[in-house]
Amino acid sequence: MKALIPTGDPAEPVVLADVPEPTPRPHEALVKVEAFSVNRGETFKLERPVPGERPGKDVAGLVVQPAADGSGPSGITRVVGHPMAGGWAEYVAVPTDALAVLPDGVPVLQGAALPLAGLTALRLLRAAGPVVGRRVLLTGASGGVGHYVTELAAAAGAQVTAVTRDAERGARLAGLGAAEIVHEVADASGPFDLVLESTGGQALPLALARLARRGTLIWFGQASRTPATLDFFDFFRGPESAVLRHFHYLDADTRLDDDLAALVRLTDEGRLHPEIGRVADWADTAATLTDLRDRRIRGKAVLTLS
């Protein structure tokens, strides 16, 4: 089969190559990939690829070989899947507990845009607890996770202040329910009951300073790729006795398939709107990856296999 292989070359981060078709384990289904989406974090990993590792975590397509143990979808079924690797290919073996059926009402392109960003947003808000009536500061809101967090949190009754430097993106977030758009963390007035921080670097202490007393800051990313420095005594200037929590989307008490199914259902009901910034043929993957890395794409980049 054809698959995209990392090269380690920034000018051409992946190339199309012939590789063996995967042999599914008993609990895995073989999926014929119709579309996959790219996450910006995956572009970072392509800078220093691990030998033998193939990228690809967000896929949508058809189950062409059900799992041998009888779990998961049976027969040829439209699905969205979240394998841990190998999805940028014609076929991928996906654990059945990381698959959800894709109804006819959800296009395959939208399905491919759901997994990692959608799972992160859904589980992040669950970790935050009830948000109805709470003031929420969301940094790094321009990305796919920020898009989903804004829509889900606003629908749940939160008053969301979204931080984005992109005016067009800010207008889109306002349309999804954000109460306020600011272009810098320093412009957010606060205090906020909850801060969802994904930037790191200088943004983290600035966001912490806008947290209310006994509030919660959940740190779920470091898009700046710069470590943050915190001062113990800064907590006494406002966020006294605040909680600083680390978050990783795979550390959850719920199953991937159940959460994927929830995201699909919300999309099918018109309550969640995956935003696709670019659709391209997978022959254009290298250029798409470069544009995504350099922030020239707003919304999810989805590649179709043809």
Amino acid in position 154: A
**Which among 89, 108, 71 is positioned nearest to 22, based on CA atoms?**
89
**Which among 108, 122, 54 is positioned nearest to 84, based on CA atoms?**
54
pTM of the complete model: 0.96
pLDDT-based confidence at residue 289 (cuts at 50, 70, 90): confident
Question: How many CB atoms sit inside 10 A of residue 229's CB?
Answer: 9
- pLDDT, residue 306, reads 67
**Which among 248, 195, 194, 242 is positioned nearest to 221, based on CA atoms?**
248
Three-state secondary structure call for residue 167 = helix
- pLDDT, residue 286, reads 85
Whether pLDDT at 221 is above 90: yes
Distance of CA 253 to the CA centre of its chain: 18
